[in-house]
Every structure is written in structure tokens, then in C-alpha cells.
Structure 1
Amino acid sequence: MSAIQLAARPRHPSSLRRRFFATPSQAVLSLASLALLAWIVFKVLDWAIFSAVFTGEGGPAACRGADGACWSVIANRWRIIMFGLYPYEEQWRSALACVVVVVMIVLSCLPSFWTGKRIAAVWLIGIGLFYWLMKGGMFGLRHVGEEAWGGLALTLFIFVSTCVIGFPLAICLALLRRSQLPWISHGTGLIIDAVRSLPLISILFAFAVVVPFMLPNWLQGDKLYRVICGSALFFAAYQAEIVRGGLQGVARGQEEAAMALGIGYWHRVSHILLPQAMRNALPATINQFVISFKETSLVIVVGFFEILASGNAAYGTGEWTFAYVEVYAFIALIYFVFVFSLSHYGAFLERRMAIGTR
């Protein structure tokens, strides 16, 4: 057992008393803090549960005179929050598409699927099903253009597409920046630093509005895909530095030994350097994924109805304008579920890889 673990262990059963009630003044402060915390918890529970209105019947009138939260807005407007502008009669497709993405992510997190063929099959099938369900136009499904996509499905699509495009691009940029040719390494470094020096909002705005003026009509594509490319470029610029930091943590002697054995560059990178670099960069990589998921809300500035914009529309009508806190609390819960799960999965990966290195 390490010295840190020994120091962290309580030395005797009265450690709690000694820590918080060692002196009369410390005991008073501890009791006052505990009482304040209990009062805050009670007030939140009273507002959110005990005095809240949950029924969806009666509309806004059901919340008049209530002392707690008006969850009726969620019961009445949840379709707008979850599906945005997607046609009402086709919203089952958007819901099923969200399920497909979640299942795809869960399967990708299972160690039994950590092979090139399996992970590629999961992502190709998952993305294909998602795109078919959302857009339709084949096998009897009505065509729904990207301008009508919204809600949680659009948020997940932007996040997944950003990571799928940005992560391989980040690895390429990191390897190019380590090139022995100065014009390649310096040019790549200039691109990375230029992208990282700009806020994501300006990049999204440029790809959505400015880029079409610079490209011919046949190369412009839909605005959604241009925005995804801009988000992926921003993700790749930050992730490239994370990967490069992980590569710098790999002992130089390992690459030199591989070169002495005559192992080719791509085999050195794929079998020796990158596996160790990704282990070193895992905490920062998980953090970057978390940030990217939360940054999907920024696409509202270029006119997309992701889940936050759909929430704004849900309470934006005259009858529900008073219930904005409840709407934002519901959206925050959705973000919390995804981000909390991703963070805990990252902790699981750290423990698993630490065990593998013993």
C-alpha cells in the first residue's frame, strides 16, 4: 500500500469528530454548515417534487397558484424539446434514431467490440440506420430534409459526426506535426494554432455563412454538413495537441528500438506509439469528448434547432413563458445523463488500462 493511501486512511474511529468538531468554534461552524446544506436540499426538493405540479392536464392554468415547479410544461411540450421541427407524424423515426445512436455508443464501449472489424461494422450500420431513419426517402419512409431535423437527435448526430470525423483527423495532424520535414511540421503547427486561437462560434459561422461564397455550388453541400466539418476541425485541432502530448510521453528508446529492428513507419505508429500515446492521453481525451458534447448547443447561432434551441421554442409561446426554469432543468438533466455516463466510462477505461500495464 502506498504512502498516499496510508495517509488517506482514518487513524482511529474518532477522526470525523476531530476533523469537524475539534474545538467549540469549529463544531458551531460545522453544525451551521450542515443546517444550511439541509435547508438548501429541502428547498430544492420542495420546489422540484413536494410542491410541484406534474399533471399535463389543464395546460398553464394547472400551475396557477402552485408554489413549486410546473412540470406540466414538460408533459405538454416534451415533443418540441426532444424532436424540434421534425414532422409530428414522423417523430417516431427521430426517437428510434436516438435509440440507434445510444446503442451504437454503448456497443462501442464494450471491450468485446474493440476490434477493427467489429467497431467499423457497428459504426457503419449505426450511422447508416440513423441517416435512413432521419432522412428517409427509401423503403417507404417519407423524405425529411436536414432543415427539419432538431432536438436530441440533431444534438447526437452533430456530436457523433464531429468525433468520427475529428478524431482520425486529429491523429493525422499530430503525426504531421511530428514530421522530420520542417515545412510539414511548421505548416501543420500553424494550422492547429490558427484554429485553436479562434472561438468555435466564429468557425461555425464561417463554415455556415462565409464558406458558400468561396466554393462553387456543386461543392457547397448542405449547411448542416458544413457546420459539422467546422466543428470537427475545431475538435481535431485540440485533440491533435492531446495526442501529440501522449506521443511525447512514450519513451524515445521504444521508437529507436523499433527502427533498429527494421519495423516500418506505419507499423511503428499503429502498434507501438499510438496505443501507448492514447493511454497517456486518455483523461484529456475523455474531457475533450465531454466538452464537444456540450458545445453542440452552439449550433443555435447558425439556425439549427438542437435540443437547447428546441427548449427555447417550447417555452417561447405566450402561455408557457413563465416555465423557462423547468425547461432548462429538464435539458440540464439530459446533458447530465450523457456527460456523467461518459465521464464514468472514462474512469473505467483508466482503471482498465492501469491494470493492463501492471
Structure 2
Amino acid sequence: MATVSATTTPSPLSASGFRPTGLLEKIRRRYFRTPFNALISVSGIIVLAYFAFLAADWAILNAVWTSPDGTSTVCRGIEGACWAVIHQRWRIIIFGLFTYDEQWRSMLACIAVVVTIVLSCVPWFWKPLRLASLWCTGFLVFYILMRGGIFGMPVVMPADWGGLTLTVFLYAAGVLIGMPMAIALALLRRSELPVVSRTTGAFIDGVRSLPLITILFTAALILPFVLPGWLQGDKIWRVIIGFALFFAAYQAEIIRSGIQSVPVGQEEAAKALGLGYWQRTGRIILPQAFRNALPPTINQLVITFKETSLIVIIGFFDILASGHAAYGTGEWSFAYFEVYIFVGLVYFLFVFSLSRYGAYLERRMRIGQH
């Protein structure tokens, strides 16, 4: 019997006999495959290096980091960045209008919410009872620390909350309340009862057709005129409910798309096994729907975090408004660029971390499918 020998093309060797493998080979194939690609790559590297040097020269080499006398005179006439404004005004950016002597409470409250969010990413907490207990504990600790009134802590009303702590709290509370609402709306829109499904669809489409600022403005300023006093509650909670409602309307459509992507045979097989509606939905349909809808869900969470900056329009002192107040005085008015870079870095830290965690979940769930 004749045999056919397989021939392989050897990897290119350099003049010294070095054979590029791994990372070097990937770089060569992507950026230096042809002379024209190499020319473009080298040109791009030179341009990026030039702008990186200019940025480093302004932000690091020629920058002023502190102000020994606490004034802005040290930054007058410099060619670099004036990070002294952050050194002198970081408290107002992070804590907002919170009472100066009690700002340790705001710091601990912010840490409590961040730790709660981080622990929620640990797979051990991915059980309904554990996750609910974790979030209830986290929010209880946050509210006690921020409001006070017990353990000898003075009362600080929500109108005096602000800065990064308020931004993180609004985001976490909006998502925590909005996600169950989104699941309920998605299931109601898929109801077999036409009245229920059409009414829910009209409600979702109506909320999605309104700008978020309209909903927040209505919740903060209009509702007190139409609700009885006992039902009004505090302004911050009305805003959180409005924020959660807006998030739920968009997330409901994302979850519904995930449900529709589940093969029909999955539910039919569950019915054949005698599983009830809630067993089919909770154990078979929703887990697969969340896995299928994970990328748009992460995208919606990122958008929601950035939309928290809109609360400044209704009078809340979030981190963006706090940053404006940090340079709003005549003494530091020239350092607005540095303040906004600092605030932007804070947003980037949260959003980038969230996106990386989303990528980790996608890899984890993709591996679980095999």
C-alpha cells in the first residue's frame, strides 16, 4: 500500500538561526507580515511614543503634587499638571457635603458597598439566600453609617450625602432593586394572557421612550405634589426607585431576548418531566437566559453606572458635582482639567473592573458549556 507523507512548512529562521515562537510570532504575523505593514506599525509606534512622552511630561515630570502652604500659588506659571488641587480638595470630591468630622463614616459606608459588590462576584455567594443576605447586610451597614442616629453617631440627612459614596450607593441600590423588577417585567411580557403581556409591553415601551432625567425629575420634584405625605418618603429613595425603574425597563428586554434564545425543546422537556412553571422558569429557563444575555447585561450595567452623573441636575451632590465644587473656588478655578481627569479615572476604574469581570464570566460560562 502506498503511503503519503505529510509535509510541513518550517517556521522562518532568522540569520542567527532563531525561530520566533509564541508571543514574538504573533507580533510578527499581526504587525510585521509585509514591509508595508511593518512601515505602518513602526510609524504608529513612533506617534504613540511621542504623545505618551508629552502626556508623561505634563502629568508626571513637570507636575506639582502638593501644596505646602495649602494655597494654589505653587501652581502658578508651571508647565505641568497641578495635582495639588487633588491633594487639597480630595475630601470634597470623595465625601461631598458630608460633615467634616464624620467623614470617616462616609468612607466606611463606601467601603461596605464596594466590598458587597466584590463579594457578590465570588461564586460561593451565587445562591439566592446567600446573595440576599449579603446585600441586605451591606445596605443596612451603609444606611446606619451614613444616616447615624444610633451608637452615638449624629444624624446626617440624605440631602447632605455626596461624592463618590453617593454615586456608588445610587448605582448599587438601583441595580439591586431594578434587577428583580426586570425579571418580573420580562416574565409578565411573555405571559399567555394577552391583557397582561400587552399592558406590560406598553409599560416597558413607555418607560424606555422617556429620557432618564425626565423620570428622575418626576420622582424627585413632581411626585411630592400628587402623593400623600405618608407615601412620599425621602427624596433619595424616590430617585432610587425611578432609577431602578428605568434600569428595569431596559434590562427586561435584555432578559426577554435571552429567554427567547433558549430552545423551545428545553421547556417542552421540562413539562414532560412534570415540572411546574416556577421550577421550569427558575431552574431551566432563567439560568440559560442570563447566560445568553450576559454581554448586553454587562453593557447595561456599565451604562447605568455612568448615568448616575445625571442626579446632579435634581440637586444631589454626586462625584461629578463634587469635582466641580473642588475647583469652583476662585483659588483653584484654573485646575479644572486635573479635577476632571481624576474623576474620569474613578469612573474608568469602576467601569473597567466591571467589564473585565464580565469577560471573566463569559469565559467561565463558555467553558461550562463543554
Q: Within 2, Cα distance between the matches of 1:26 and 1:98?
A: 48
Q: Which residue of 1 aligns with 2:345?
A: 333
8 Å contact kept, 1:21–1:30: no
CA displacement 1:2-49 (0-9 Å, x = unmatched): xxxxxxx99x949737844734x6655444332221111001111111
For the structure 1 residues 107 and 68, does the alpha-carbon distance in structure 2 shift closer, same or farther, using more than 3 Å as the test? same
Q: CA deviation at 1:160?
A: 0.6
Aligned amino acid, residue 99 of structure 1: I
8 Å contact kept, 2:31–2:38: no
Q: Which residue of 1 aligns with 2:321?
A: 309
Q: Which residue of 1 aligns with 2:5?
A: none
* % identical equivalent positions: 60
Give 5+ residue unaligned stretches, structure 2.
Answer: 1-20
8 Å contact kept, 1:208–1:227: yes
8 Å contact kept, 2:31–2:41: no
Q: Within 2, Cα distance between the matches of 1:205 and 1:15?
A: 52
Q: What does 1:1-358 align with in structure 2 at a 5 Å threshold?
A: 13=25, 16=28, 19-20=31-32, 22-23=34-35, 28-58=39-69, 59-358=71-370
Give 5+ residue unaligned stretches, structure 1.
Answer: 1-8
Q: Within 2, Cα distance between the matches of 1:285 and 1:159?
A: 15
Aligned length: 349
Aligned amino acid, residue 37 of structure 1: L
Q: Within 1, Cα distance between the matches of 2:165 and 2:30?
A: 52
Q: CA deviation at 1:70?
A: 0.2
The alignment partner of 2:72 has SS state of: helix
RMSD of equivalent CA atoms = 1.9
Q: Which residue of 1 aligns with 2:3?
A: none
Q: Within 2, Cα distance between the matches of 1:60 and 1:19?
A: 47
Q: CA deviation at 1:317?
A: 0.5
For the structure 1 residues 252 and 78, does the alpha-carbon distance in structure 2 shift closer, same or farther, using more than 3 Å as the test? same
Q: Within 1, Cα distance between the matches of 2:239 and 2:225?
A: 15
Q: CA deviation at 1:169?
A: 0.1
Q: CA deviation at 1:56?
A: 2.8
More helix per residue: 1
Give the TM-score, by structure 1 length: 0.93
Q: Within 2, Cα distance between the matches of 1:152 and 1:15?
A: 41
CA displacement 1:189-232 (0-9 Å, x = unmatched): 00111111111111111111111122111111111111111110
Q: Within 2, Cα distance between the matches of 1:220 and 1:162?
A: 18
For the structure 1 residues 177 and 28, does the alpha-carbon distance in structure 2 shift closer, same or farther, using more than 3 Å as the test? same
Larger Rg: 1 or 2?
2
CA displacement 1:98-144 (0-9 Å, x = unmatched): 11111111111111222222212211111100000000001211110
Q: Within 1, Cα distance between the matches of 2:27 and 2:137?
A: 55
For the structure 1 residues 28 and 354, does the alpha-carbon distance in structure 2 shift closer, same or farther, using more than 3 Å as the test? closer
Give the TM-score, by structure 2 length: 0.90
8 Å contact kept, 2:162–2:316: yes
Q: CA deviation at 1:265?
A: 0.7
